[in-house]
Amino acid sequence: MAEKITTTLNGAQRTFTAEIETSAIELIRGQAGLTGTKLVCGSGACGACTVLVDGAPHCSCIMPAIHMEGKQITTVEAHAQSDLHPVQKAFLAHDALQCGYCTPGFINEGIAFYDNWKRNAHRKRPTRADIAHAMAGHYCRCGAYQGIYAAIADACEGKYEGPEMPTYLRSDGPAKVTGAAKYTTDIALPGQLVGVIFRSRIPHGKIKRLDLSKAQAIPGVKAILRLKTDDITHYEGEPLAALAAVDHATALAALHAIEVEYEPLPFIMDMRASMKADAVQIVPEDKKQVPSASEAPPFPGSWEGNVRKTLLSISSSDKSKAKRKIEKSLPESATHYEATFVTPTQFHTTLEPHCAVADWRENDMLTVYASTQGMYFLAKDIAERYKLKEENVEVIAEHVGGAFGAKLTLHTAIKTAIELSRAAKTPVAVIYSRAEEFSEAGYRPSAEIETTITADPDGSNAAYTMAAYGNSGYAIGSNIADISGLGYTGIAKSLVDYDVLTNFQPGAAFRAPGGPAACFALEQAIDQLAEQLKLDPIAFRRKWEEHPGYLALFDWVEKLPLWKQRGMIAGASRSSAKDGIVSGVGVAFGGWMHIYMPTVVVEVEARTSGLTVRNAVQDMGQGARSVLSKAVSDVFGIPIQDIKVEIGHSTYAIGPSSGGSRTTASIYPAAVEAAEKLQVAILKEVSQKLTLVDAKINPKGIVHAGGLLLWAESFQHITLLRADAKRGHNDGFNPMGLLPLGQDMELGQNRSYGVYVVKVEVDTLLGQTKVTEVHGAMRIGKVHVRPLAESQCQGGVIQGISHVLYEDRAICPTTGRLLTRGLEDYHLAGIGDMPEIHIDFIEEGFEMVKQKGVGLAELCTIPVAGAVANAIYNATGYRPLVAPIVPQRMLAGLKA
Ligand code: FES
């Protein structure tokens, strides 16, 4: 029975009605239309939905709406009613956000903390521990914790009390700290239905009967359809059918009315079991049906049972030499090390789930709002799949709440929304639940990595072989061994990848696919061999590496005080271990490709009102808006806040997909060139209109015989001028150095290299590891927007720590069903796990690249796992071969 609720919402008395089971967030977002409050976990685990109830923070997802009765409820929107709150300003100033999906929750919790601190604290500035304690109930998957610490501390110290706005570089920061930013989950079109998916409940089986009739007969169900054309289900969570209904309750009732009968078939969840010669064959007859977990098209391969061997390696070098050297190497000798490393499944856990709102209208016009990493190519893919004219399809993504590789494709949520909208003839929204995010949205594949390394006794002539067995579930394309070869140009290597099929959902590309796992294995193997040869780890690497990228990083490490002190840190901590805590320092290197899209076009226009830059790119938190506005700002010398950025629509000029670190490398050069062209056009038009003499372009404006006309002044003399520029190929374009990867991607010359030196503390009694310090150097050429580049690195570090120390899936061995179904079941690194991070950029090495800089998002996460593992070894003498390095593994390892 519906209850009447009278509450004060953002200062205004409001009356609502709600069922007893309605949650506060449903009322706030639905009836009140305040979409700044975000629903993420639905279980009070992540804090994204935090609102203030009589000034105290509460998770609105687990708070019944009826508890709003008589209370003062404050959502993030309230703090933007006049001036921004000091906490919001501090978040802008410290760039304490990326995708922004967690930000409203952090802002509300931060404001409650700020109020308490001002009232009760005896100190002026809170410590990191104070803030970590207060923010412990909040996750930021992008990893913006370093900025959050600084922002809350500064706000509490009273730094942003005045009316003035701070300077900031994240163009969409104000929209994100006020809750004004609109994500796909916030879209509510007239007549919009709720779409839901009926999924397989077993890991492998024959579908004997799938009866949709009872669901179809439920009043309010407007469309229902089968999603699967064959009758075999290959994994739990596989989409079988979908329906659209007038509201969520009706949709769920209809979902429960669907009847299914399975004939269960034997399933395999364990990779080693799947590799056995007598294993049940789960590979289909038409092997092309097996999906790919990779961003790039899969390399050719050959199947044997459930195992597919990749037949091409682009990173192997001196393959025969490497094999010969390893064959001759004596297993017991100091010059030989071999081990099998194991890395875990890592779920993307973007805070915004996979979602889409499709509106298929008359005359086959289709608008799709989607949480996507590639709107321009998504629109093309949709047109091709549904046989629509390209000009009839528009994809919109104003803001995307995190992606990390999981949203590069035309994913199931999008396809389902489109098909239901076509059937229902009205808009349909499909938004995954958190359980669906875990059961079907992809993950970083787990792997077993057989690594053997050898070198001459003096450390020269190193060679390694790597055979990586990737478990991408019911998918191929894990490519770990080959990715290991992106680094170390001077070492002989023989690399081979295998995909082992299991009855688990298909994996997906995850930030630097294959990179962290490869680095975990290779960097530990190198350090171990260095120790066996009694060589310093950097001196060992110098023996066979001459690439200037590596040499610059070696020099950087050797000068780092923490690295110089590593022997002393480990030795001193072991000899005087208090409470069983020992410390250690580790290093690891990584390499990534320079990828860009020459077809990208950026448009810049000038009007009397100012400058606008436009491109069909999406911003998932990496800061595409800021990169575009910074490029134009760099040319015109106008503050980025004064430059309007229009992105998020596929109909704008050709934009890049965001994957493989190709976004900035594609849009920044094109934006600079378009801005420069626009300056020439402005010069021409304004000179003619004002009859300027000897007019020329100057960084500040147009200089002429009569003085200087500032750019901002020049806009007053034009109505509309527009220029565009294509990204194009790099200078010194060398076709032999390029590899077409699909989606107009090109592999540019040279590679980016990075290194982390980390310090850990290991509790040898409890088995816990804490990363306390991280120092990194990234050799990526010119850095275009430094605070955002630093934020990317911080995010890459925290995701890397989370991967190597905490994250894994749990599967029921009896039923094969996934037990990890919510954020409360999944250990993610939180704000208290964030170490102090210091990043240096080595801005050289890419002089041949347009605007001399390349992408960073993949590189900055690759070396983390290896560096943490090497630091643990330095601290404890235990070599962790299996990640995540959870306490029970650590304790077992220390005992062995
Ligand atoms: Fe926190 Fe993206 S900014 S989850």
pLDDT of residue 730: 87
- Asked whether the predicted pLDDT for residue 739 surpasses 90, the reply is no
Closest CA to 431 of 837, 140, 40, 150: 40
What CA–CA distance (Å, rounded) separates 595 from 763? 41
40 lines ligand 1 (CB under 6 A): no
**CA torsion sign, 59 to 60 to 61 to 63?**
positive
The pLDDT value recorded for residue 733 is 59
pLDDT in tens, 458-486: 999 999 999 999 999 999 988 899 999 99
Q: What is the pTM of this model?
A: 0.96
- In this predicted model, what pLDDT tens digit does every residue of 714-723 receive, in sequence order? 999 999 999 9
Tokens of 655: 């934009």
CA of 660 to the centre of ligand 1 (A): 20
Contact of 358 with 192, CB cutoff 8 Å:
no
Q: DSSP class of residue 135?
A: T
Q: What separation in Å is there between the alpha carbon of 508 and the centre of ligand 1?
A: 20
List the single range of 268-272, 282-286, 580-584, 633-637 with lowest mean pLDDT: 282-286
Gap between the Cα atoms of 50 and 39, Å rounded = 9
Nearest atom in ligand 1 to 99's CA: 2
**By mean pLDDT, which of 72-81, 554-563, 703-712 is the weakest?**
72-81
Residue 736: pLDDT over 50:
no
What are the tens digits of pLDDT across the range 291-306?
Answer: 888 777 788 899 999 9
CA 139 to ligand 1 center in whole angstroms: 8
Q: Does residue 598 have its Cβ closer than 6 Å to ligand 1?
A: no
Ligand 1 pocket test, pick from 95, 97, 183 with the greatest ligand atom count within 8 Å of Cβ, gives: 97
| In the block, residue with structure tokens 């804490």 | 770
How far is Cα 34 from Cα 73, in angstroms, rounded to an integer? 12
Q: Is 144 in the pocket of ligand 1 (CB under 6 A)?
A: yes
Please count the other Cβ atoms lying within 10 Å of the Cβ belonging to residue 143: 29
Q: Is the CB of 654 under 6 A from ligand 1?
A: no
CA proximity to 821, closest of 281, 516, 329, 439: 439
Q: Which of ligand 1's atoms lies nearest the C-alpha of 176?
A: 3
Ligand 1 center from residue 802 Cα (angstroms): 15
With tokens 């921004």, the residue in question is 84
Strand-pair partners of 759: 585, 773
Closest ligand 1 atom to Cα of 351: 4
**Across residues 78-96, what is the average pLDDT?**
92
The response to whether residue 100 sits with its C-beta less than 6 Å from ligand 1 reads yes
State the distance from the centre of ligand 1 to the C-alpha of 744, rounded, in angstroms.
29
Average pLDDT across the chain, whole number: 95
**Whole-Å CA distances, 581 to 659, 746, 767:** 40, 48, 10
For residue 735, what pLDDT is reported? 52
Instruction: Quote the tokens at residue 75.
Output: 């959502």
- Ligand 1 atom with minimal separation from the 97 CA: 3
Nearest to 103 by CA among 127, 55, 138: 138
CB of 513 shorter than 6 A to ligand 1: no
Q: Is ligand 1 within 6 A of the CB of residue 515?
A: no
What would the pLDDT profile of 319-377 be if each residue is shown by its tens digit?
999 999 999 999 989 999 999 999 999 999 999 999 999 999 999 999 999 999 999 99
621 lines ligand 1 (CB under 6 A): yes
121 confidence band (pLDDT: 50, 70, 90):
confident
126 lines ligand 1 (CB under 6 A): no
CA–CA dist 871, 586 (Å, integer): 4
The ligand 1 atom at the shortest distance from the C-alpha of residue 98 is: 3
Find the mean pLDDT for residues 806-834: 95
Q: Which atom of ligand 1 is nearest to the CA of 350?
A: 4
453-462, 574-583, 687-696, 865-874, range with the lowest pLDDT: 574-583
pLDDT of residue 459: 96
Angle CA 733–492–877, to nearest 5: 120
The rounded Å distance from CA 244 to ligand 1 centre is 30
| Burial bucket for residue 720 (CB in 10 Å: 0-12, 13-18, 19+) | exposed
Of the candidates 466, 468, 473, the one whose C-alpha atom is nearest the C-alpha of residue 444 is 473
Pocket test for ligand 1, best of 95, 142, 437 (most atoms within 8 A of CB): 142
Number of helical (H) and strand (E) elements in the chain, helices listed first? 25, 34
Predicted pLDDT at 284:
85
What share of the chain in percent tops pLDDT 70? 98
SS3 579: coil
Determine whether the shortest distance from the Cβ of 99 to ligand 1 is under 6 A: yes
The CB of 809 under 6 Å from ligand 1? The reply is no
How confident is the model over 851-880, as a mean pLDDT? 97
| Per-residue model confidence (pLDDT) at position 742 | 65
Looking at ligand 1, which residue's alpha carbon is closest to its atom 4? 140
pLDDT reported for residue 372: 97
Residue from 46, 50, 102, 799 whose mutation best tests the ligand 1 pocket (most atoms within 8 A of CB):
102
Over residues 247-288, the pLDDT tens digits come to: 999 999 999 999 999 999 999 999 999 999 999 999 888 888
* pLDDT value of position 732: 66
Q: Please, what's the largest Cα pairwise distance for the chain?
A: 88
Question: In this structure, what are the phi and psi dihedrals at residue 91, rounded to the nearest 5 degrees?
Answer: -60, -40
Structure tokens at 109: 């919790």
User: Can you tell me whether residue 381 is helix, strand or coil?
Assistant: helix
Residue 362 CB-density burial (10 A; 0-12 exposed, 13-18 middle, 19+ buried): exposed
Asked if residue 102 has its Cβ within 6 Å of ligand 1, the reply is yes
Q: Is 107 in the pocket of ligand 1 (CB under 6 A)?
A: no
